[in-house]
Chain A
């Protein structure tokens, strides 16, 4: 039996942060029923990478990867008949999740008070960029905006250049864990007390925990962090060095004296190894340009994978900077079954990401792809809610299933 077998989640979340959170719960056996309206295309369906590089609402690998293993009912909650179906699903669910602009659920007369009325011990999680309250509550958008407004974007890049930021919608990759954690903690609370609750999760607020030491550096030392390239406060050398080939790089760090000594031996620089000025981390931190030049001179003509192998064999932290082709062939990721092939209604199978961590006794069970439009309507309406054909026809006629 899967770890989260029996956990029932009614999921109105869309785009990336929310669906990535419930995806993990689905991996471990939760039944997640997504609600999508075809009148309001989930943005994730419009995001690359696309199958074969071809754009289309059933073509997005991003959407597939975020919604693996979930069920889908196409439903318009703003439609009066659709709203009744939604309330039936609320009575079925343990947890309702949504990530609309604050006030959207209330506008459909489906706010927390209404849902709690339908199911008194319900857990509801509302996740948005800035939180349900406050002057910026209505500031809707994507994780690249939350990454900017919560300080991440300004911290990536070179001191002499404009910000490069972390890649794209960074908070969308931080917040999912907090979303899933919040749901599980609330389920435990309900199991012990019988009490449900509403959770207001601001993706910006949760993500700020990933800047903890820098925020304390400002609070305690009045120092505002800035861009430093790949330099590290404690570790030198620390960088990505050009290897042989076009735009090929290898990341190398020497965090300890022993790693530094091994690195010097590996790159044939005994002069650096025996230089007393470089024997300590503080000495190395003061001479980073010299160290970087020495390492870059050695890596420039070498294959990035060879550099990784030689340095790791010597105990030095090093890794090729991998693109998607190399990640797909990475022996460690293959060993960890990071990539899984699953069945898909319109294709033989698709390769997506598996679970990111492993449970020894109740492993993740990943079999089916993310839902295509309409794939699960009958399952949800008949098997889950027990509707008969007449009722379903009425819903179609009323435009509730759009």
Chain B
């Protein structure tokens, strides 16, 4: 869908997903890596647990549909080559610390001089400017700074993140979105601009607007495993099954309350609770708890009733009941469960992508959406380091072989 467009992808591990999204949509994405390789290539896990720049699964996961050129853009000749590529490109994405590229004559203004139509996208921890713009970062630090971390984890232990980094994926997806908004505007004005993404702000979306609690005069939410504590109430969203865990949206109000009512009717029909428990006012239930008409101890008892019931059923049985009775129950899947999902199989989700190490193909997440006019493409496997340097600098930019050889000797490529 974006096949007319060329993307120069200078991102580190902070920004890989951005270029891949544009690549999946058909853009011609060229990863510009330092001669030692993109830092993401040093991140594990590695294929076969062998640390090697061409075996990083972080690189493999987020570099599909890209080609790789090595180029030391901090050297004068490397800089000029990049400006040559930028003159013909539509997007340039980067995720270096603020000011790094500008210090090498490759800031947004320098790039605009060679190509006023170019859209430059920068992904950083806290944005290009501001009191924390130069803060050191990590996934955990960004989640702490942006709001999701305080909401997550067991109430008697430290706040906790997911076992796999998330912060820069939110930022990278925002970056692709910002790039396409600027692109839409460029079709009208003919002019590029600079998109400035802050990971801190991107992850704030994952607070479900609770970032606004103080601003709205609403109570602060506190963390509890698999749920949340608000007011003096503990909302619980994860329950045990006989063979693992299930998520249940056991909440109230005019929209979700009817699902909770159906849940209690089903549990009653299966002999799991008495009539009085079944027939509480599940629409107004939060309000009843807040004004004390329903004691909190009674709510705690109801949750124990549900738990005692779900414990007797398997995840699959609970999912089946969810579909049959229109309930809000889903299994807590392991990644093995996810891969075995009949739903994903029926939709032909998994794509076979050739491994960069030549050892066959690997099962990869499929298209993020199904487009009727032009399906997303899985055209290029993740590239080995510098695999397309000659093809792009020689073939497309027209550097003669002798010059490529010289640049190679000097360590520029």
Contacts and interface: CB of A to CB of B under 8 A. Distances in A.
B399 interface: no
A181 to B, nearest CB: 5
B162 A166 contact: yes
A239 B140 contact: yes
Interface residues of B, number: 156
A29 to B, nearest CB: 9
B162 A156 contact: yes
Interface stretch (B78-86, B212-220, B266-274, B401-409): B212-220
A215 B365 contact: yes
Nearest to A49: B218
B152 interface: yes
Interface in A69-107: none
A322 B174 CA distance: 22
B346 A133 contact: yes
B136 A259 contact: yes
A336 B130 contact: yes
A266 to B, nearest CB: 12
Given A155-B164, A212-B61, A359-B195, A177 B173 contact: yes
Interface stretch (B143-151, B294-302, B386-394): B143-151
Contact of B131 (A7, A41, A318, A332): A332
Given A188-B1, A336-B130, A156 B161 contact: yes
A214 B385 CA distance: 22
Interface residues of A, number: 166
A309 to B, nearest CB: 10
B228 interface: yes
Given A205-B349, A226-B163, A154 B195 contact: no
B165 to A, nearest CB: 8
A224 interface: yes
User: Mostly helix, strand, loop or mixed at chain A's interface?
Assistant: mixed
A333 B145 CA distance: 9
A358 B349 contact: no
Interface string A350-387: 11110011111110000000000000000000000000
A66 B301 CA distance: 34
A173 B206 contact: yes
B136 A148 contact: no
Contacts of B35: none
Interface in A290-345: 312, 315-325, 327-328, 330-333, 335-336, 338-339
Nearest to B259: A141
A358 B334 contact: no
A199 B364 contact: no
A247 B151 CA distance: 12
Given A167-B151, A328-B214, A357-B175, A240 B160 contact: yes
A135 B17 contact: no
A255 B216 contact: no
A213 interface: yes
6 contacts: A52-B218, A174-B173, A178-B369, A208-B338, A351-B216, A357-B177
- Enumerate the 3 nearest inter-chain pairs by beta-carbon distance, A residue then B residue, closest first: A212-B61, A49-B218, A253-B138
